[in-house]
Structure 1
Amino acid sequence: MKSKLVLFLCLLSITVWAQPKKVTTSIDTTKNKIGAEFQLTLKTDVDTLSKVKFPESKFFGALEVIQSYKIDTVRKGERYELIKKYGLTQFDSGKYTIPRIPVMINGKVSFSDSLKVEVNDVKVDTLKQKMYDIKDIVKVESPMGTWWIYVLIALLIAIAGFFIYKFIKKIQTKEKGEVIVFKTPIEKATTLLQQLEGKELWQKGEIKSYYSELTDIARNYIEEEIHIPAMESTTSELIEGLRRAAKQKKLKLSNETVENLEKVLKQADLVKFAKVKPLDFEIEEDKKRISNSIVTIHKSIPEMVEEDDELALWNEQQKELARLQKLKKQKRIRIITTIGIVLGMIVIALGSLIYFKGFDYVKDNLIGHPTKDLVEGEWVYSEYGNPGVKVETPKVLKRIDAEKALPKETIALLKEMQIFIYGSMIDNFYLGVSTATFKQETQINLEQAAEGSLKVFEVQGARNIIVKTEDFDTQKGISGKKAYGTLVMIDKNNGKSTKLYYEILVFAQSNGLQQITIMHEESDKYGKQIAERVLNSVELKIAD
């Protein structure tokens, strides 16, 4: 029994040691200078449903984490290889150990291997090295940026608008204007009907406005003369209320008068809500019906001698109504005038900026410019593809499926193809990185490879392509070819054409091709700055 148990434990230990490591660890170099970057790489091979969480820490042992790179995902059949890189550094010389780093895989902790690294001093020969004076203090821009300037300008404009509004209000309070006060409702209705005809609304095609004012005059007259809520009643409610009031107050109203009024009110409802357009003679008839109805209602009212105090009260009410209408009009004038003056100030300020700084400065800083935002944003230095292309970009490049982007005939020749892009060829900026290895040994001609990319541009809609080529060497001395020039890109959706400047870098390594493509509008100065910074940062991982 004991011998069986020992054998079982031995087999178990062999099984445990034979299990593949879930986290593999590597580093680009084990020796470096003070302050230089060690690039630590952690890789996990998991299935598509696994959840992996890499640690985020400021220190790994005695080494400081100066950069936590974005996770790169490589698909291998039904599994994923997740690659996480960290930039580590140390500012004291000596030998250090990068400890085992925990990685959570499906809720369980797996550890990386510990690594030993060495940080060396930078030797300085003070006898041969020239000595220079201490440089002056360099002014650094405030981290707040310039957004507060725009907030301050907006605040000053708002304050100016407030005081302008108050000033106009003060002037208006000193002005005295005469307001027409009508003595009787019939006088008011007759005058308003004459004014309505003078506007010639229906002759100008404003039939809805005409009927709205016409019926409002009639309703307002009935409300003031007979004292029923005509303005807020529906047509049927108004007619019913008019019939009831005629009986109660013994008005001498014929059915024909009430029916004519009802006919016009219903016609107005159709015009306002059903978009009916009466003929010219029908409009004339409706105007006569309203005018005759008002006159008939006025004549049907029994003559009554009103007491002086009632007449005085009515006059006071009319004066108060006129005063309120005048105040409302003055307020509307103040608001419109204030807005006009503030807009004038803004136009003058913008005109001054354009005169002294130029239109492009105003457009880029106030309206905004997409590539300007890219220049001033937080850039990312990362490695793409295999063999790796190291490049600094304004945004992280997005991986796309090469099988969907390339013809099947091309895919059949490739062992591996990886494409990463930002933007598109019809946008104001495009940046792409691609790496490819061929299945069979292939003699790669870099100039022909660049020409192949230009043919892809033609398929995308490029015309009038101008090409220049020259040699290009990275800082580590890896040689390649650079093709550059201009082209006209035509958007197939709307036919719009844009003149673009492009640059293509091509390199041949390990029976494969590495390519960087940059494209932007020819006149875009920010696009030029981005292209220059990207090209200066290009470095290739030397293939094994």
Structure 2
Amino acid sequence: MRIKFIFLFLFSFVVGFSQTIGTTVSKKEIKIGEQIQLTLKTKVNEKEVVFFPDLDSIGKLEVVQSFPPEKNKKGNQTEWIKKYNLTQFDAGTYKIPALEVLINTKKTKSESIEISVIDVEVDTTKQKMYDIKEDEILSINPEKKQQELSDSQLILGLFSAFFIAGILYILLRIKQRKKTKSEAYISPYNKAFLAFSEVNANANSKEYYSNLTQIIKSYFEKTLEFSALESTTEQFIFKLKKAVQNKKFQISETSISQIETLFTKADLVKFAKIIISLPEQNADKIASENLINVFHKTLPVSAEEHQVALAKIAEIEQQNKYKNIRQTAFIVTFLVALISVVFFFGWQNVTNYFSAKINGKDADYYLKKEWIVSEYGLPILQVETPEVLVRDLVTLKNPNIKNIAQFSWQNPEDKLAISLQTIAYKDSIKTDLKAIFNDEMSEMMQLQATKIQTTAKKFKNVKDLSGDILEGTFEINSANQTKQMRFFTVFISDNFGLQKVRITHDAKDKLAKDFIDRVTNSLEQVNQEEDE
């Protein structure tokens, strides 16, 4: 639960600032039985989804009609409009309470408004009363609607998982570095030459030669492992010869004699207090360095150096072990955090997101989503679709048409698109199927479709709704590319009206048939009865 609260906090920045709900009514005073229209408006980002409540009553007012939401694009924003027709049959003052509107996963409340209902004398013997009927009814359950995963949410989720794993990796590295931290080892050879670099010829010959002999003694004490620093010259030469003999390595008597000569000169400087010139001091320093070089090339590895080498190998192995632990911890933590992100968003949403990125928003993508059942037009046609169809502006040109309504979802050049049209005739007209098909072909050509090939057949779905089908292929130019498309149009007609549902899809979409079947099998005519 703690992880989920953390993600809720992080994603509050993605959702953005809180939106407001504009609330208006057509009038604030009505007569008993008269209807008032409540309008809710809100502007959101293009990718955000808005769900308005679908209610039978609002406060003490009866909902006569709940209209489908209208969507208008304005630049990078979308304006959503929801309308309700309300009425009340008792006089008095009533309050339209604040309504909760769901924007993505966030609840936002509308404003509350007071209205007055006044008495009126109604003579029902002179005029019949009818309910106001609209050409579109929408029934939607917002609780079942899945929130579509956005790029920003996915990036933030991945970043959160990476951040948590990275913090653990850094903490482990700091802790393990303290355990493995060790001082840098300097070999006897390097120590000797570092000491030589600090010795400079000077007037004090005793100090100068004392420093040279101490450097040489320290080197051999470490490498040949005998006590040299506290030994006299005689003792040192004896121990040196013995160590060379015991170690059994090749070194010339000349080299040992040079050391003995240097140490004898140092004794004379110390005890006889003879003065050595600066050039001679420099020459003896160079000779000392050469002697160390000669011995270094032939001396075996000392026990100290061997132990240090083993310790170094052990330290490297330990560091590699700690590195593997850190990497494993990072991967495991990242995967656990990633699983938490997937759990937070929902497995279906995540798979839909990647399916859309890889294959585009094809039939497989939409078939995995929650669909909604809506009612459109007059005469009313009920249909199940992935999203709400948006009303299109249509101009009446045919004098025989009483009412025409058109709705669509996506553009014909998209991977999937739906168009629905309902036509009511003023008078009874004999159905001319050939003319209907020709009109459909004309509309397809107006949508820039070319090379249209068609096949006609009869239609009947699982709800025993029957009609005719015109299906086929066409080409359309989109972004300077020619796309191969298919269309499937269902016509339900009689002498009083025509209902048409067209589905277009990419010709390569293998699951398009399942998509079409789901839409067409959901088609159902809804009878609208009037009170006589």
Structure 1-normalised TM-score? 0.37
Compare relative contact order (CA 8 Å, sep 6+) and give the higher one, 1 or 2: 2
Higher radius of gyration, 1 or 2: 2
Structure 2-normalised TM-score? 0.38
